[in-house]
């Protein structure tokens, strides 16, 4: 069938119109896609904070101001064309060097926000943990009331900028609660402890007595032997806690300290103290719930960072004498000031 001249003219005009619109559109789409995959303009990691409630234009401007992208208009166009405009999430982001706009957009739509860390060492008192939390800048808000001693699990915690200090402390408490319940359920049932709270108390003492993982079950075994015989635990860290209540103090124990009247002074009070003296970690709890079999009733520092164990007071006194002799020798060898 042959089209009449007017109809052919209409068809040609329509075809030209479609072509004139499609070619630039295709070119723009291709150019946008090419830009999306091009390496970014920066050579070092950049951290940018995208606030809640920011518009697409505001986010693009923030990224440009931070040096993450160079063409905010193209970023906005790409977000609209890809359907990601409403999926961009607020938060603090760390962008890798030379990250392309597509990589940047993926990170923001995924909500892959920057995580900060705080590391809590085993054996810190609650006083010391709270001081660390209070000094950690990316956290927000005021400090909560001090939680009970021993209720915070020492480990490394990740958190986004702006998490409240109250929320982080609550996470530490919940983590310790869950850990204690878990390890208590798998304990050696021959240990002479009636409650998980008692295990937490003894673990806090073991934690403060040694930082050597292999020694912890042995020290726990010594304390169990003493408890069974009705002997005082005579743990120096409990005296320190009776003196300082968990506040940092490097002063050595004095004779006056040993005489402090306190339920935490295990030189004066039999059995376990009424509460933990620090926040024990998993290894100390495991040592208390799975102690080593030993006949030792005493242990003393050996001068090399560890301890010497003894089953009798006579043997213990010899270990102490060796320690004193070693300390004297080291003092004599030290250069005079």
Give the per-residue pLDDT at 18. 42
pTM reported for the whole predicted model: 0.82
Query: Which residues, 6+ apart, have CB-to-CB distance to 93 below 8 Å?
Result: 47, 48, 49, 50, 107, 108, 112, 113, 114
Contact 323, 303 (CB under 8 A): yes
Low-confidence ranges of the chain (pLDDT < 70): 1-33, 333-337
CATH 3.40.1360.10 for domain 40-113, yes or no, is no
Give the per-residue pLDDT at 337. 56
Give the per-residue pLDDT at 326. 82
Give the per-residue pLDDT at 330. 72
DSSP-assigned states of every residue in 235-293: -HHHHHHHHHTT----PPP-HHHHT---TT-TTTS-S--SS-SS---HHHHHHHHSPPP
Give the per-residue pLDDT at 4. 52
Residue 157 φ then ψ, to 5°: -115, 135
Spell out where the chain has E strands.
46-50, 91-95, 115-119, 156-160, 298-301, 307-310
Give the per-residue pLDDT at 23. 43
Tell me which residue of 144, 177, 138 sits closest to 279, measured CA to CA: 177
Give the per-residue pLDDT at 302. 86
Give the per-residue pLDDT at 30. 52
Contact 200, 280 (CB under 8 A): yes
Q: What is the pLDDT of residues 20-70, one digit of tens each?
A: 444 444 445 555 667 788 898 888 999 999 999 999 999 999 999 999 999
Q: Hey, where are the domains in the chain? A: 40-113, 115-177, 190-333
């Amino acid at each position: 069938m042959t089209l009449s001249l007017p109809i052919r003219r209409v068809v040609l005009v329509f075809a030209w119109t479609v072509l004139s619109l499609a070619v630039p559109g295709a070119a723009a789409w291709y150019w946008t896609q090419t830009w999306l995959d091009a390496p970014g303009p920066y050579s070092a990691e950049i951290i940018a904070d995208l606030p809640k409630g920011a518009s697409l234009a505001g986010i693009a401007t923030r990224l440009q101001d931070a040096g993450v992208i160079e063409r905010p208009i193209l970023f906005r166009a790409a977000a609209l064309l890809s359907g990601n405009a409403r999926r961009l999430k607020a938060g603090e982001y760390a962008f890798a060097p030379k990250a392309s706009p597509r990589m940047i957009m993926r990170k923001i739509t995924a909500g892959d926000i920057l995580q900060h860390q705080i590391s809590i060492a085993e054996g810190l008192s609650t006083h010391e943990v709270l001081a660390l939390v209070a000094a950690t800048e990316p956290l927000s808000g005021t400090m909560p009331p001090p939680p009970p001693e021993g209720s915070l699990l020492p480990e490394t915690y990740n958190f986004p900028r702006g998490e409240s200090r109250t929320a982080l402390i609550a996470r530490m408490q919940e983590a310790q609660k869950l850990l204690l319940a878990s390890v208590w359920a798998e304990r050696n049932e021959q240990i002479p402890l009636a409650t998980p709270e008692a295990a937490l108390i003894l673990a806090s003492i073991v934690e403060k007595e040694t930082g050597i993982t292999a020694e912890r079950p042995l020290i726990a075994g010594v304390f169990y032997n003493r408890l069974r015989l009705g002997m005082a635990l005579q743990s120096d860290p409990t005296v320190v806690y009776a003196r300082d209540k968990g506040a940092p103090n490097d002063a050595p124990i004095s004779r006056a300290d040993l005489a402090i009247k306190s339920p935490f002074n295990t030189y004066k009070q039999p059995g376990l103290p009424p509460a933990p003296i620090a926040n024990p970690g998993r290894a100390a709890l495991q040592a208390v719930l799975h102690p080593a079999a030993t006949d030792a009733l005493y242990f003393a520092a050996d001068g090399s960072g560890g301890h010497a164990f003894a089953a009798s007071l006579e043997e213990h006194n010899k270990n102490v004498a060796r320690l004193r002799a070693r300390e004297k020798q080291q003092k004599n060898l030290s250069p005079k000031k």
